[in-house]
Amino acid sequence: MQPVFAPLGQATPVGPSGCGQLAKLANQVIVAITIGAVSEAFILAGGGGADRAQVREALQGGFASSRILTEHGQRMVDRAFEPGGPAKFQVKDLRNALKAAEQLGLDLPITKLIHKLFDEMVNRGKADMDHSGLLTHLEELNNISFS
């Protein structure tokens, strides 16, 4: 099937049938948790008076550097939450990851927590906001407002 999939990108076998779906869910778990980590880091740094844009720039030079910090971190700094990946889809993907974990007899407590936070965000009317908008939900939980 390599020639069929070649135009779509590099195919990387990850295991027997069904493992591709698990890899996709694993990706969504990492994305969601990392968005949560960047959001909380910005809230912490900003709460102490640091400039979030400068914090983002500084962190990109260390171990915290990631594509999420680079791309979604910029969206957070710019407060540009037009959907690239709507929060409602993040909830769906995390729900599917938790179902898969349950079927495998696994407990993913961090995924459960981030799912809860995204679910709250969606239930507060932000279903179509980009998933980087989790920052706004966490700001609301901390009584932080931006004009």
**pLDDT tens track for 44-67:** 999 999 999 999 999 999 999 999
Catalytic (active site) residue 92:
no
Cβ–Cβ under 8 Å, residues 43 and 144: yes
Q: How far is CA 78 from the centre of its chain?
A: 17
pTM to 2 decimal places = 0.92
How much is the pLDDT for 3? Answer: 83
Task: Please give the average per-residue pLDDT across 39-43, as a whole number.
Answer: 98
Of 70, 115, 112, the C-alpha closest to 91 is 115
CA-CA distance, 144 to 57, in Å (whole number)? 22
pLDDT reading at 5 higher than 80:
no
122-136 average pLDDT score: 97
Mean pLDDT across 106-135? 98
- Of the chain, the percentage scoring pLDDT greater than 70 comes to 99
Q: What is the pLDDT of residue 147?
A: 62
**Fold topology of 20-141:** N-(1-d-carboxylethyl)-l-norvaline Dehydrogenase; domain 2 (1.10.1040)
Tell whether the torsion through CA atoms of 121, 136, 78 and 53 is positive or negative.
negative
Catalytic pick among 24, 112, 116, 126: 24
Rounded mean pLDDT of 90-116? Answer: 98
